[in-house]
Amino acid sequence: MQERGALQQVGIYANEPFDSYFSGNTVQICPVGALTGTAYRFRARPFDLVSSPSVCEHCASGCAQRTDHRRGKVLRRLAGDDPEVNEEWNCDKGRWAFSYATQPDLLTTP
């Protein structure tokens, strides 16, 4: 915790980045929703999203995920609950790397 009283904020150590392969899980476990990902922040409210169960496509583990989308556009991915594969966690690649499918240089024909 940084500062005191009304100025108190959650923070990290000075000059040390919060770097972890699973750092995106802090967004999902934040109890008040104050931590959000930049791809999702200020673009929609949770009640505006349609959630669909999905599977991560980035490795052979097949982690369960929940894909939240609005008007046909994926806005965020959260870990699904699969006790035998990924429990309630997923890696940052599975959580944040969904935007590759909407890039303008994506090949659409062979």
The CATH class of the 5-102 domain is: mainly beta
| The predicted structure's pLDDT at residue 51 | 93
| Model pLDDT for residues 85-105, shown as the tens digit of each residue | 988 888 888 888 888 877 888
Residue stretches of the chain with pLDDT short of 50: none
DSSP state of 82: B
Run of H or E residues at 95: helix 92-96
Closest C-alpha to 89, from 29, 44, 36: 29
Domain boundaries, the chain: 5-102
| The predicted structure's pLDDT at residue 14 | 76
| The predicted structure's pLDDT at residue 65 | 92
Run of H or E residues at 76: strand 73-79
| The predicted structure's pLDDT at residue 66 | 92
DSSP state of 110: -
